[in-house]
A and B are shown apart, each in its own frame.
Chain A
């Protein structure tokens, strides 16, 4: 088929993917990916109430506080980004 098709379908797919914050790309490093994983995890914990209550019981905290701490942790889940070594 035409090369133009390649630009069409797949570029649209990539455009669609690019709209999601958590998607990655070939130049992603370990840190960036880990941040996404952490944030997704916290979002998931907060979204699933049973999970939240499970953590609350395990940590002996109120569910509200658990939610709050998870929310706070989403800010810098893995700490500050490491220095990029220039290459």
Chain B
């Protein structure tokens, strides 16, 4: 290449870089909108609770157990969960997964939450006194307090009961002992005692002093509820699971001292009833359920929807009433199936009605008898309770009116083009099936129906249906109103059978609607939170992101005050789940509205005297904030630390723990800055580690581990020594969690500047290796990883030889996982620090150990042994020469092994050490290996074959084409058939090798062979992997260079006629590359001639080739621009859009290539052809056109393009103006300064000066 072009090329590169920074059309994501790119860091915040160990324990355990078996990895991975329906998954049709199925027990607790009714919106109400029917903040706080009190009372009672029982247990023993002695004398007393004991159970309820008694008493009917765990009022409503209970209750009702059966209200054991003692001080809300049954006489809205989920259409209001939501929430899919089945059976066995009987029997000859007076119709046990007449009516339950007219077995055809409904959906959308006349409905009902329809379309519809429905919901959000919308959407999200996709869609609906409703959402904030908060702890990353987005939008819409008012009551909720999710939600609010806004509130919460739960949650919020927003905590670090610091001395252990964890999170987020903010907590932390044990100590250590790296060297060293005593003591701890934390803290301390190597060697290493480098540590994957990391960190301080000498013997340990751990450590240490520190003795031991470990391995899925071997050999370099024959012997032996894995690994090892072999001048040995590998090219396992090709490639690379054995002329014909192999790994390695040979040693192979390879290569353009396609395209270039472009080009041009797009695109790239390698003038004539073929694909292919070609050749294009201009003229005037698009992109590349090289005349000419296309609407075309204009701006200067622009900026037609302003804007962004000189001279108007007199100045 002549130096001039090289120079211009260099200049062009520089200009391109400048351009890249300026170019307006390159799509750059706005950091303000989309946040920083550091989204990966979010992943660290998944843990749902503080100690989440077994993320992949299952995976790990299975892998461990199967370590001694060999099988393809895919098969091994399958084993644990190989439960049916795999065929679908394999085919790529993964069945939509229900969220419920993958959730753990803790996450399922979301279904226990209740969608609370709307709350008072103080902002909307203004000065007005809130309507008594609306729940205000005070109401809720009172309720929460009550709940808590109740819980505590229950706990106390349970405790007392237990004590009593224990006392009793010991008492009868005494009695018995006495009994045996004088049985008759004591009888009277005994009887009395027995009576008392018996009575105590049943008499208690009447004792008004212990109102909650019944909840804790193990009465027969309440087995399930016997645990005095968390219970709130909603749990007491009859859930399906409890039907059985209620059946049993009548029996309970008969028990001594009880009221006669039938007067239900009087029986204190009925689970559905409130506690017998009248509690008038309860808030209004608690009473609602009692009246609800009669208060909501809506058509079809039976409050007991939970009983007959598939049948009963649920009306609109039920959400405003609390119970059904809770009911529904509690239904598990299993229960669903049970219910469905039961319903089916009942349907078949239902008693026949009189009409049906009339229809069946002849009218005369039969007589209708009265049933016996004593007969009570009993159907199924589950119905027993329902069928018995209840004089007063159970307050929480109403017998559903059975609709005989409905068909149960066949899902009804959804009317009006609605999508298919799943059985679970009937509960929510059943009303749509009732073919009522829409005109007869009230406006509100019509609205409800409309919302339901749209939601159903969003949930189950086809993509186009979904899209329009979503848009309608968004557009009409304010018209529908917040209440009806959320009352419809939110219960759907609580549906236990919800799938990921459905949830995503519904969440999207909420997001859109939120945006529209803005401040109208205020009363519904808590409702929404109940549904969205669980997303924050979902295991799916995107679900978490979605949840965060919604909550952040919600807080922006509702405002801080409303958010706090909605979430404050949950902060000291008795349920840990609620507190956990609330803390996370609060952190999102903080990141959305700014930490300073939230600080006063947080401060108050963290100092709450009322309950430790509030303090715990408050501190947890700080932790979550730190995790969520990372280094953005820095400005507020001091205040955040001040808020939580007192928690280190809290009386409650959990609070102390979470405080330490929060400090750890803050320090981690702030690293490496902000040590001064932690000054105040240093003392309590370091004092704390001497006082505490167990979990608290672990948390304190963790905090210290994160704070030490922030310190200056001097302090870090001092504090490390302080903490090290404790750490070394805890080395022996049997607790896994503690072990992990200790390892981590050691790593952090050791890596800190100021901690000296001598100190580590003398004080830490002996104990460290004694306690941690044991086989057991290799068995748990997390321990394993942590130990390796820590050891590597220590090695960075104390050097290679110290560490390697200590563990090198263990390479011959009998436990394979342990050997692997040793190997991985050695690999990392040696890669980091090199092997110059290793003396000859250690070197011998090392190679010996590695060879042993390599040969003894049974499985190496993670390639630990292979990598370790490679790393050690590469770092030893020439020193490995004496061992090479032995190593090669091993490799050859293993290449011949029966197991495919072993052969593959051996081949892989060759490619790793080839460079070192060359350094050791073992060319003969390599030649020998080459021949061996050549012989194995018949390998049938594609994975192994790929590795063998890779090994051959590395040998060829190292020893060159001329010295290669077998000679290239023998090797290449052997590779041609392998190119047909469809396996990706084989293809990739083979094409790399072939490309290498074509590049460096093409002359060793006859041209005919290369042509044959060309044809094979065309097939490879179909490959899925981009790397393969790229290698193929490059190989075309090499081959063309070797044998001349004519034949290759002919092949490629023919290939433009194929149907497949990917193939054509790759071909065009190949043509461009051939043109670049063999100079454009060898290719252009044939290429332009091909444009005359009257076929769209071919012409477009030619244009695309031109586009790539001008992109690749850059300023070389100045010689060819005049040649191709007529062709481009034609293409830019073509009727076909794609022609114009591709030609425009060719023009762009041309313009950018020849900028400043004096081709303006041709470019202006082309611009005249490009310009009329600015009104195109197809996105690709308009994009290409805009980019062509941008290219022209660079090549011709902004002033020229501005002149084109001016004619349309104030055009009377808005459509025209819009386009012109868009062009103007991109022009402006690209060359703002250059435009100053080119702006038109505007005339002044009466009071406004538009002219620019400065430009008229002349000296």
- Find A23's partner among B25, B1178, B1229 (CB 8 Å cutoff): B1229
Question: Is there an interface contact between A40 and B1248, defined as CB atoms closer than 8 Å?
Answer: no
In the complex, per-residue mask of B1016-1039: 1 if CB is within 8 Å of any chain A CB, else 0:
000000000000000000000000
B1257: interface (CB < 8 Å): yes
Count chain A residues whose beta carbon lies closer than 8 angstroms to a beta carbon of B: 40
Stretch at the interface among B176-184, B280-288, B1091-1099, B1220-1228: B1220-1228
Question: Is there an interface contact between A55 and B1209, defined as CB atoms closer than 8 Å?
Answer: no
Inter-chain CA distance A77–B1257, complex, in Å, is 18
A59: interface (CB < 8 Å): yes
B1249: interface (CB < 8 Å): yes
Residues of A within 8 A of B1242 (CB): 30, 34, 37
Inter-chain CA distance A6–B1257, complex, in Å, is 47
Question: Is there an interface contact between A55 and B1257, defined as CB atoms closer than 8 Å?
Answer: yes
Closest residue on chain A to residue B1181 by CB atoms: A1
Inter-chain CA distance A14–B1215, complex, in Å, is 15
Instruction: Quote the shortest CB–CB distance from B1206 to chain A (angstroms).
Output: 11
Given contacts A40-B1236, A41-B1236, A54-B1257, contact A14 B1222 (CB under 8 A): yes
Given contacts A6-B1179, A10-B1179, A34-B1248, contact A25 B1233 (CB under 8 A): no
A13: interface (CB < 8 Å): yes
- Find A16's partner among B28, B1182, B1209, B1245 (CB 8 Å cutoff): B28
Question: Is there an interface contact between B1221 and A24, defined as CB atoms closer than 8 Å?
Answer: yes
Question: Is there an interface contact between A24 and B1225, defined as CB atoms closer than 8 Å?
Answer: yes
Question: Is there an interface contact between A17 and B24, defined as CB atoms closer than 8 Å?
Answer: yes
- Find B1252's partner among A6, A30, A41 (CB 8 Å cutoff): A41
Inter-chain CA distance A5–B1177, complex, in Å, is 11
B1232: interface (CB < 8 Å): yes
B69: interface (CB < 8 Å): no
Residues of B within 8 A of A10 (CB): 1179, 1182-1183
Given contacts A26-B1217, A57-B1259, A79-B1247, contact A20 B1229 (CB under 8 A): yes
B88: interface (CB < 8 Å): no
Question: Is there an interface contact between B1259 and A79, defined as CB atoms closer than 8 Å?
Answer: no
Question: Is there an interface contact between B1248 and A31, defined as CB atoms closer than 8 Å?
Answer: yes
Question: Is there an interface contact between B1229 and A1, defined as CB atoms closer than 8 Å?
Answer: no
Question: Is there an interface contact between A25 and B1179, defined as CB atoms closer than 8 Å?
Answer: no
A75: interface (CB < 8 Å): no
Question: Is there an interface contact between A5 and B1248, defined as CB atoms closer than 8 Å?
Answer: no
Most chain B beta-carbon contacts within 10 A, residue among A26, A28, A41: A26
B1254: interface (CB < 8 Å): yes
Count chain B residues whose beta carbon lies closer than 8 angstroms to a beta carbon of A: 41
Instruction: Quote the shortest CB–CB distance from B591 to chain A (angstroms).
Output: 23
A12: interface (CB < 8 Å): yes
Given contacts A17-B1222, A57-B1259, contact A41 B1179 (CB under 8 A): no
Inter-chain CA distance A17–B27, complex, in Å, is 12
Most chain A beta-carbon contacts within 10 A, residue among B1210, B1225, B1239, B1259: B1225
Inter-chain CA distance A58–B1214, complex, in Å, is 43
Question: Is there an interface contact between B1232 and A22, defined as CB atoms closer than 8 Å?
Answer: yes
B361: interface (CB < 8 Å): no
Inter-chain CA distance A30–B25, complex, in Å, is 27
Instruction: Quote the shortest CB–CB distance from A29 to chain B (angstroms).
Output: 9
Closest residue on chain B to residue A13 by CB atoms: B25
Count of A-B contacts judged by CB separation below 8 Å? 102
Residues of A within 8 A of B1248 (CB): 31, 34, 78-80, 82
A72: interface (CB < 8 Å): no
Instruction: Quote the shortest CB–CB distance from A39 to chain B (angstroms).
Output: 10
In the complex, per-residue mask of A53-78: 1 if CB is within 8 Å of any chain B CB, else 0:
01101110000000000000000011
- Find B1233's partner among A5, A37, A44 (CB 8 Å cutoff): A44
- Find B1178's partner among A1, A17, A41, A55 (CB 8 Å cutoff): A1
Most chain A beta-carbon contacts within 10 A, residue among B1179, B1258, B1259: B1179
Residues of B within 8 A of A5 (CB): 1179-1180
A15: interface (CB < 8 Å): yes
Residues of A within 8 A of B1259 (CB): 54, 57-58
Residues of A within 8 A of B1214 (CB): 26
B30: interface (CB < 8 Å): yes
Inter-chain CA distance A16–B1085, complex, in Å, is 42
Residues of B within 8 A of A26 (CB): 1214, 1217-1218, 1221
In the complex, per-residue mask of A33-51: 1 if CB is within 8 Å of any chain B CB, else 0:
1100110110011010000
Instruction: Quote the shortest CB–CB distance from B392 to chain A (angstroms).
Output: 60
Given contacts A79-B1247, A79-B1249, contact A47 B1179 (CB under 8 A): no
Instruction: Quote the shortest CB–CB distance from A63 to chain B (angstroms).
Output: 14
Question: Is there an interface contact between A17 and B1225, defined as CB atoms closer than 8 Å?
Answer: yes
Residues of B within 8 A of A77 (CB): 1249
Most chain B beta-carbon contacts within 10 A, residue among A34, A47, A77: A34
Question: Is there an interface contact between A9 and B1179, defined as CB atoms closer than 8 Å?
Answer: yes
Question: Is there an interface contact between A13 and B24, defined as CB atoms closer than 8 Å?
Answer: yes
B93: interface (CB < 8 Å): no
B1235: interface (CB < 8 Å): yes
Question: Is there an interface contact between A45 and B1228, defined as CB atoms closer than 8 Å?
Answer: no
Given contacts A10-B1182, A17-B1222, contact A40 B1254 (CB under 8 A): no
Question: Is there an interface contact between A20 and B1225, defined as CB atoms closer than 8 Å?
Answer: yes
Residues of B within 8 A of A6 (CB): 1177, 1179
B1250: interface (CB < 8 Å): yes
Inter-chain CA distance A32–B1209, complex, in Å, is 13
From 1165 to 1201 in chain B, residues with beta carbon under 8 angstroms from any chain A beta carbon are 1177-1180, 1182-1183, 1186
Question: Is there an interface contact between A23 and B1228, defined as CB atoms closer than 8 Å?
Answer: yes
Given contacts A5-B1179, A54-B1257, contact A37 B1239 (CB under 8 A): yes
Instruction: Quote the shortest CB–CB distance from B1102 to chain A (angstroms).
Output: 22
- Find A47's partner among B1225, B1233, B1254 (CB 8 Å cutoff): B1233
Instruction: Quote the shortest CB–CB distance from A46 to chain B (angstroms).
Output: 11
Closest residue on chain A to residue B1183 by CB atoms: A9
Instruction: Quote the shortest CB–CB distance from A16 to chain B (angstroms).
Output: 6
Instruction: Quote the shortest CB–CB distance from B432 to chain A (angstroms).
Output: 29
Nearest 8 CB-CB pairings of A with B: A26-B1217, A17-B1225, A23-B1225, A58-B1257, A44-B1236, A34-B1250, A5-B1179, A26-B1218
Cβ contacts A to B, 28 pairs, < 8 Å? A6-B1177, A6-B1179, A13-B24, A13-B1186, A13-B1222, A17-B1222, A17-B1229, A20-B1225, A22-B1232, A23-B1221, A23-B1224, A24-B1224, A25-B1221, A28-B1221, A31-B1248, A33-B1209, A34-B1242, A37-B1252, A38-B1250, A38-B1252, A40-B1232, A54-B1257, A58-B1257, A58-B1259, A77-B1249, A78-B1248, A79-B1247, A82-B1248
